[in-house]
Structure 1
């Protein structure tokens, strides 16, 4: 139950709850440029993932959907939709970096897909903190620049992107969280 207060435990043999930890991302102050976060576990991408994402997003590119046509193309098979790859490497970072501490995603730059991702590949994600600065127009918030990298199981870079996010400073974020309770 969200927002529940710890109470006496009603199950025999289980101690009374005396401490509660809520999973969250990092506050602005906790980001340090030059730190690399390795997001685990990896995500093995299936054919079903690719077909579902591709059709949900109305991307009718035959390179993602048509096995016979793709067999005659340079890679000889269908490729995983690059937008799925990008969404997955960013999504893998959420619990470790931005869960409940982000104000907004501001944008992406330098997005690249240097190698394809194939059905059955396992995608591993990492993030490097590039820069941070307090916002001059939004008190209690700051802008963090993150560089996301996706590698397959062989360590080959299949995606990378730089992203700017607006993050809460701890005091303002905790105050905001308390206002929503």
Structure 2
């Protein structure tokens, strides 16, 4: 199993995820179209010429999904029972077409479930960084993680 079982999720554990992803114009346009986000800051190059950044911004919901997705293989693949929610989401710096995103995850809390005997609750802090090592997304989320099977 690629993901971490609850017992592997020690508070303070840091995972530097192996997968990186360069964000493309196509990513941004398709995601914006699929989610009906017609904000000109994402889809209108002419409009953005006179904006704060002078170019289109990558849709922040795409960035959040990318950051969360990059973490799956090394944290929750096959070992999670579900995503319980996000407590915090921040976008400290903008993301543009051509930026390459990498992700670091830290386990900030882990406890056994009070209502289930097969799982524990783990709080992850995911940090998305661009190629300049600037934080572009910080997301704190909680997941329900399987206990390691008894042998």
Same fold per superposition (TM over 0.5): yes
- 2:75 matched to 1:89? no
What TM-score comes out, normalization by structure 2 length? Answer: 0.97
CA separation in 2, counterparts of 1:40 and 1:51? Answer: 26
Q: Which residue of 1 aligns with 2:45?
A: 67
RMSD: 1.2
Runs of 4+ in 1 over 3 A off after TM superposition: none
Q: CA deviation at 1:120?
A: 0.3
Match of 1:72, SS state, is: coil
CA separation in 2, counterparts of 1:32 and 1:65? Answer: 42
Q: CA deviation at 1:109?
A: 1.3
Per-residue CA deviations over 1:79-123 (Å, capped at 9, x if unaligned) read 000011111111001010100110010000121000000100000
Per-residue CA deviations over 1:26-62 (Å, capped at 9, x if unaligned) read 1100111111101122100010111011111111111
What TM-score comes out, normalization by structure 1 length? Answer: 0.81
Alignment coverage as a number of residue pairs = 151
- 2:64 matched to 1:80? no
Q: CA deviation at 1:72?
A: 0.9
The structure that has the greater radius of gyration is: 1
Q: Which residue of 1 aligns with 2:96?
A: 118
What runs of 5+ residues in structure 1 fail to find an aligned partner? Answer: 1-22, 175-181
CA separation in 2, counterparts of 1:88 and 1:101? Answer: 20
Instruction: Give 1:7-156 correspondences, 5 Å limit.
Output: 23-156=1-134
What runs of 5+ residues in structure 2 fail to find an aligned partner? Answer: none
